Structure formats: structure tokens, C-alpha cells
Chains A and B, each alone.
Chain A
Amino acid sequence: MPTTLTVNGRVHELADFDPATPLLWVLRDHLGLVGTKYGCGQGLCGACTVHFNGAAMRSCVLPLAAAAGQKITTIEGLAADARLTPLQQAWCDEDVAQCGYCQAGQIMSATALLAKNPRPTDADIDGALAGNLCRCGTYQRIRRAVHAAASTLPA
């Protein structure tokens, strides 16, 4: 039975898929959306974070069956009309990334945070991003970039 998956506003009809397939691999290996990263496959590192109806979700443990029919947004879908979001811009301005591999997941988690809490404290940021590992250790700059982006948003 075909599965209907909506990613970044585009509707995909997927045939012949095991409904247990994690969304991550559908995105990466079938839809060519490689911005969502594989880090652990156990929902423990956050590199695969996407938005599921606006909430940050680990796509590596999200079965396709659960994602079907829902509104999925990936890192590729954040910047509308090739304009960076305030968070993406802050990530560039603060020069957050080192290797950069985790940063898509960091930005997805931070975007979900700001949508709920436009003036987060350091503790709020630490709480919302504690599930996103950065092996290079850019945490200080991540905090700074979230604050910088928040300062551009209406409170």
C-alpha cells in the first residue's frame, strides 16, 4: 500500500516501503534529503532531528508509518525562498560550526525551542538541546547563536 509523506510541503507517494522503516532513511536514501544526519540510530545524539508538526523529533527512531500524513520539516525546508532564518543566520554570524555534522540537528532543535520560547535563558537552551550531541564541543557558541537569533525575534 502506498504511503503518503509530506516533507517540506511536498507530497511524496511512497510505494513498497516497510512501514517500520525509520523516517531518517527514507529522507536520506530515497528522497535525497541528506541534510538530516545519521549519528547513532538510537535517538541519542540528535543529529537526525526533524520537525514533526513543529515539534523536534528524532527521525532515526520515527517509523515511516507514524510520519505518514503528518507535517514533516527537515533542515532543507527551514529557509524559505533561499532566505536564511534568523537562527541559520546567527549560526553563520557566530561561526558556530567546527566539523558541522551535528549542526543541522542543533538548528532544528533550537528552531523548535524558539517557536515556543522566544526569549530562552541559558538553562532553557541547555534543556532543549541536551539531546543534541556536538562532538567538537561548540556548545558555548550554540548558546550564543540562539540568544543572537532570539534578539531579532518579537518577544
Chain B
Amino acid sequence: MHPDLSVLDPVSFPPAVSAARPGDAPALDRRSFLRLAALAGGGFALALYLRGPDAAAAEPAVSGGAEPGGDFTPSLFVRITPAGEITVLAANPECGQGVKTAFPMLIVEELDAPWARVKIEQADLDPRLGRQAAAGSRGTPTHYQPYRRLGATARALLVSAAAARWGVPTDELQTPGDARVVHAPTGRAATYGELATAAAALPVPDEKTVPLKDPSAFRLLGRRVGGVDNPRIVVGAPLFGLDVRRPGQLFATFVKCPVFGGVVRSADLAAARAAPGVRAVFEVKAPGVASGVAIVADSTWRAFQARDVLKIEWDEGRATGDSDAAFAAAAARLHDAPPAGDPLRGAGDFAAAHAAAAVRVEARYEYPFLSHANLEPQNCTALHRPDGVELWAPTQSPSGARDAAAKALGVAPESVVVHMTRIGGGFGRRLTNDFAAEAAAIAREVSGTPVQLVWTRADDMQHDWYRPGGFHAFRGGVDADGRVVAWGEHFVTYAAGYDTDKVAGVAGLAAAEFPGRLVPNVLIHQSPLPNGIPLGPWRAPRTSAQCFAQQCFLDELAHAAGRDPVEFRLALLAAPAAPAPAGERGPVFDNARMAGVVRLAAEKSGWGAPGETPWPRGRGRGIAFQFSHLGYVAIVAEVTVSKTGDLVIDRVVVAADVGRQIINPSGGENQSEGSVVDGISSALVQRITIEGGRVAQSGFADMPLLRIDQAPKRIETHFLLTDNPPTGLGEPVIPPVPPALGNAIFAATGRRVRRLPFNAADLSWS
């Protein structure tokens, strides 16, 4: 079992579309086509079908046209019935990033239907629907144009149907946004429902010829729209994976070795089998599923209770030697010696530039492993039948869940049905579908009966795919004019296992790393530590961790050179950035866009405003920026620290450039506000420690999350709209949060905290 990295961020993997102008590349044209199906009883449905090997099996026998196959019941993006009922499919997993609302908005905008009258329906996994994933903030750049074309094409069909009915040219017809087609010269009008059956008989126009609205004509995009599931969420209606209830459903728990990679040596299952409510206890052995023992019972609680009488002896394996102390000692040894091996990157003459610099600074930074701590513990409901398995899964990658279940059962992926539930928090954890594979393997043992696998909080915390910790040693040089002229970095990170020099996929230095690419003389080394820790993507993989070290060290350089941190950064951004290193295909970085958000964050926070008086000791603010997931973000954090070291975060100002259009400002701001809280939580209070190859923490008592009374008093989000394709907001706001906070703490107290979490450091001052 490994994280499904194929759907991950465009920084580590080439995006599906041009990095320079992602939203403008119509993926639809190359990979897919639209198909119309007449509905039984009249009306039509419009679907997007993929071309290519993935979809070969799913392609309809009829390639386009209006004639529906008799037994053809596709999942469909847009459905309009003669009664005027309009249904739009939400095809992607919803884990709180807002796509169940925002993506249907794209379709409905171009369809010109009233939002309040459109029913939004959650899709199942269906290869005909294109990419269905919540990963890498790629949803918006991937779907922004194709989904609009879906809506525009449906509208064009309705307009053509009206034109034919009235014998008028289409260019005399209008759609005022109320699901009607209107012919103003004659005053005629027809509802979409009245036109739906006629529209279903028309050929689908080439979507490339269907015009999209000019943004000035948008009625819906850019409006604050509440989440489509809000009415259900506030009354506790079933939505989430753990809410699934199937007839006759049983509940399961799965006990794994606390040491990573450990396996069952022997197990005495008798007492657990005799426990109240228990239906089955068995050792699970399936490809891709961790070794362990499953308990199936008539309630979750009884399954959990029976764990207490389970007797398992583990063969703990090799990871028992892994510990935070050992990793830190190994990192210190590596940092104390000159970096071995070839540099990861080099530019200019670092040694000479560093030696000649007017100001030189050296510092080491480190941060711990992190768990995802989704509030909804990992779970999956499965019903095994002789011909396959049906899953109800809160997963960020439903195709990954399908493949993991198929592998566990040794069946073809086509025999796995995946229903997507709402997800009680993603953050990258649910790109790894271990819970789905486990549920499938457990369900096979009680074939014919649905079973819900529920991880305990401790299971969740101790069997995560962790954000890797890291150790940075920096050497920087600034010239007499305040320009950074030398940037040296030795990054000690984690290997993809033992006996390998290969860096784990989510542990390598990000290709987008800054400020290294802005400095003329650079020398960067990277050393991986062998380990047996499961590592996986954690919201804004790599940059969410690395930005802390890099932007705090940059701040150290600014202060050492006696420069204002904002001015210092703007000077850095005035030089053109080096391109992404060969072989890493990082996206193009636009200095001007980054400088724009740095200026905006400074301006909105009042940084350097005319007439401003210096802040008293104990109050401070810090700035940081990062480019990630195609988004440009700068953040100013303002803090108050008491003499005894109590920290209050007064205000956080976010400036973000994610292109020319915010689809749903309410959702976009929510992502920003949540990212600020998440970023603070990750840097201030969260820490996973490894001892003896296992995670020392087991719940929120020893691995807390940020509480409301620790959250910033105020968070402001300012979007800088620039003429660039719209890109995602699930991740890019996170990375600059920890360094902005660290830089603010320094400004307030004079204490430079170089090791996370901040709350482990003494922040007192006198």
C-alpha cells in the first residue's frame, strides 16, 4: 500500500496541462468528448466521456449523436427533464475543499440556469467522468474550462432546439439565467424543460465551437454561494463514510502491529470470539494489506471492546531501531561534516560569493513528523459478493480505492464499485487507500453481509502516512547593498525505505523551493535517512514543511543585514528566478506575481504605513511567501507575546494570487482561513514522535489540534486578481503560515525559534 501519488501536486509531477497557462489548456479537447443521451420519458442528459486507454472499456458503442443505446445508463453531468428538473453531477470527492459546490457552479454558470433550482448529485467512481480526485489543488486548473464547456454545450443545444421550433436564427435568442430561452423580437419564450426532448434529438456541437461567456457576463461565478450540503450538515443528516448504514450491516475493527512493518507471529483469538456481539475474528492476509487481526461484531463498540481480550504476538521487524533520537543524531552527523556526494543543485560560485559576502549567517532548522488527524477516523464500508465488492468510501482517490480493493481481493478493478461519501477531512491522508483494501479483505470473510471498518483514534494516529520531518542546515551571504548573494543548504530528509538512497516521494526538496532559485550563487545538498516510517502527502506536500525553514532563514538574513523584511524580499524578487532544475519539471515561477502578493500583504496589514510608530516589545509581525500548487501567497502574521511567553495571534493577513477568477469567494476564503488555522496548528502544537519504530502518540491528549481559543483573533484574505488561469486554493495558503508566525515571534521577542513545534520553545522575554 502506497499513497496514490499519480494524482498529486503539479510541483512533483508534470501537470496534465501546460504549467504556464493551465486553465487555458482544454484537456477536454484532447481526451474526451461529449455525448447526448435521451432520457426515458423525454428530456436529455449530457455526459463527458474520456478517450484513451483508461476509458476504452467504458466508451459507449455509439460514438456521439443523439441516439441512445437501449440499455445505456451512463452517469451524467447535466440532466434536464421535460418537467424542468435540472440535475448536475458533482464528480469529485468532497473533503471540505468545496468542490461539490464550486465545480457544479462552473456548469450552471454557462448553462444559465438559476442555482437555487439546480439539484446537485454526488457521482460514484465512473471512468467516463474524467479525473475524480481531491489532490494537489489540481481540481480547479483541470476542470475550470471543461466543466464550463459542458454547461455551455447543454445551453447551446437548448438554444438550437428553440431556434428550430420558432424558425429563428440562434443569434436572436437569449438565455436570461432563469432556465428559459427567450426570443425578444417576438416575445416568445420556452423553458428548458419544454425544450429538453427536442434538444435530445440534436447532434452535439463540437465543444470547441461553443462560445464561453465573457467573465463580465458571469451571474454565478464570483458570487458567495453556501455549500450545497450545508442544510444536511447542520441537522446531522447522513453524509459521511461513517454514516453509511446498509441493511444487516456489521462493524469491524482491525488490529495491526504498533511497530511499522510488524507482522502477526501468533494469535489466540478464542477469547475475542467469545466476546459479546462478536461474529467473527480472523487474521487478515491479503496483498497490499498490513498484517493484522480483524474483529467483526454487531456494533462498533463491541468490536472495539473485544480488542482488549485479543492476544497477539508480533514479529516487530526491522523498524524497532527507528526513533526521533536516532534520526536527529544521524542528521547532526551529516550536518557536522562537509556534504558528501554531488549537490542537488548548484548555480554560480557559492564558495566565492559566500566568502566575499558582507554579512554571513549560518543556522539549522528542524521540524517533526506530522499526522493528518482527520476528525473522521479512517473507515470504509464494504459488501463482498461472488462477483466483486461494493465500497462506500470517504476517499480522496476513488480510483485508488478501487485498485487497492481489487489488488487485495485478486479481482479485476472493474468488479469493484466505489460510492463516494462526503469525507470528514482529507489533507492528503485519504490519497492512500489502505482502509479500502482492509475493508474489502475483511468483507470477503463475511461475504454477503455489509461491514463497516472503523479505525479507532489510536489506529488513525499510529497507522498514518506521515508528513516527513526534516533537518535543514543553511549558510547564507548578503552583500553590502542588502542583496542575497549566496544560499547554501544541506537538507537531511527521509529515504523511501531502508537500503536505498532514493528520497521518499513526498520528502525531497521541492523543485519550487525559494528563495534558492532567486539567488545567483547556490549550493544545495540533500541526504536521505533510511527508515521504515510510512510517509505520505500532507496538505501542500514538501513546501508546507520546507517553507518554514527557508522563509525563517531568509528573515534571519534580512535582520542580520539590517533590512526591512518586506523590502528585503521585494529586492530578492526583483531578480529573475532560475528555471526549475532539469529533470524536475517544476512549474514556471513568475516573480512579478509573487512581488504583487508580498506588496498586497504588506499594504493590507499596514506594514511600513506612513506615520506608523514602532511596535512595543512583545508585539511583532512577520512576513513569508511561497509558491506552491500554482498559487502565489504572502502572509503577514501579527502576534503578542507576554513576558512569560504566552502567545496570542492577533491577526493574519493573507494575500493570494490564484488567477483571474475566484469561483466561489465564500469557499475560497474558507480555504484560506482554514489553511491559516491548519498552518498554525501544524507549527504551534502538533508533533508526532517515533520511538522504537512506533508512534508515541495515541490521541488528542498527546497530539492536540489547535483549539478555537488559540486560533487567530482575526484572519483576512485578499485575492489579487491577475490575468492568469484560475488555480486551486486547497493548499497554497498553508506553506507561508508557519514562517510568518515564526518571524512574528522573533520580531516580538527577539527569540528565533528554529525547531517546531513553537509551543515547545520558551518564548519569554524581559
Bound: A25/B97 CA distance, A = 29
Whether A139 pairs with B699 at a CB distance below 8 angstroms is: no
How many whole Å from A64's CB to the nearest CB in chain B? 10
- B238 pairs with A34, CB closer than 8 A: yes
Max chain A CB contacts within 10 Å: which of B235, B299, B709, B714?
B235
Q: How far is the CB of A148 from chain B (nearest CB, A)?
A: 13
Interface string of A35-49 (1 = CB under 8 A from B): 111111110110100
Kindly list chain B residues whose C-beta atoms are within 8 Å of the C-beta of A38: 242, 300, 377, 454
Contact digits for A122-143, partner B, Cβ 8 Å, 1 yes 0 no: 1001110111111111111111
The residues of B that contact A21 with a CB separation of less than 8 Å are 301
Question: Do residues A75 and B373 form an inter-chain contact, with CB atoms below 8 A?
Answer: no
Evaluate whether A88 and B377 lie within 8 angstroms (CB atoms) in the complex, with A28-B300, A29-B300, A122-B713 already known: no
List the B side residues contacting A44 at CB < 8 Å: 699-701
Q: Nearest-CB distance from A80 to chain B (Å)? A: 11
A95 to B298, CA, bound (A): 37
Given A18-B276, A39-B377, A99–B425 Cβ distance below 8 Å? Answer: yes
Q: Which residues of B contact A10 (CB under 8 A)?
A: none
Contacts of B84-129 to chain A: CB distance below 8 A: 94-98
Q: Is the interface of A mostly helix, strand, loop or mixed?
A: loop
Interface string of B289-325 (1 = CB under 8 A from A): 0000000001111001000000000000000000000
Q: Is the CB of A140 within 8 A of B711?
A: yes
**How many residues of chain B are within 8 Å of chain A by beta carbon?**
68
Determine which of B97, B457, B676, B708 lies in contact with A142 in the assembled complex, contact meaning CB atoms within 8 Å: B708
B234, A137: Cβ atoms closer than 8 Å: no
Q: With a CB–CB cut-off of 8 A, which chain B residues contact A139?
A: 677, 708, 711
Smallest distance from the beta carbon of B231 to chain A beta carbons, Å? 6
Residues from chain A with Cβ under 8 Å of B666 in the complex: 95
The B interface is mostly helix, strand or loop, or mixed, namely loop
> Measured between C-beta atoms, what is the minimum distance from B453 to chain A in Å?
13
Q: Would you call A138 and B457 a contact (CB within 8 A)?
A: no
Among A29, A97, A99, A135, the one with the most B-chain Cβ atoms within 10 Å of its Cβ is A99
A102 close to B (CB within 8 Å) = yes
Select one of B299, B674, B708 contacting A125, CB under 8 A. B708
Interface residue tally for chain A (C-beta within 8 Å): 61
A92 contacts B by Cβ under 8 Å: yes
Interface: A65 (CB within 8 A)? no
Shortest Cβ distance from residue A12 to the other chain B in the assembled complex, whole angstroms: 15
Bound: A45/B706 CA distance, A: 11
Task: Say whether B197 faces chain A, with CB atoms less than 8 Å apart.
Answer: no
How many Å from the CB of A1 to the closest CB on chain B? 16
Residue of A nearest to B377 (CB): A38
CB <8 Å contact, A40 and B457: yes
Q: Nearest B residue to A38 by beta-carbon distance? A: B242
Docked-complex contact A137 and B375, CB < 8 angstroms? no
Q: Which residues of A contact B676 (CB under 8 A)?
A: 137
Q: List B contacts of A140 (CB < 8 A).
A: 673, 677, 711-712, 714-715
Say yes or no: B374 contacts A42, CB within 8 Å: no
Known: A100-B422, A101-B424. A25 touches B236 (CB 8 A): no
Which 3 pairs between the two chains have the least Cβ-Cβ distance?
Answer: A35-B236, A137-B677, A99-B96
Q: Return 6 A-B CB contacts under 8 Å, by A number.
A: A34-B245, A39-B457, A44-B701, A99-B95, A135-B373, A140-B711
> Beyond A91-B234, A98-B671: 10 further Cβ-contacts under 8 Å?
A25-B299, A37-B240, A37-B424, A39-B457, A91-B230, A98-B674, A122-B713, A129-B708, A135-B374, A143-B708
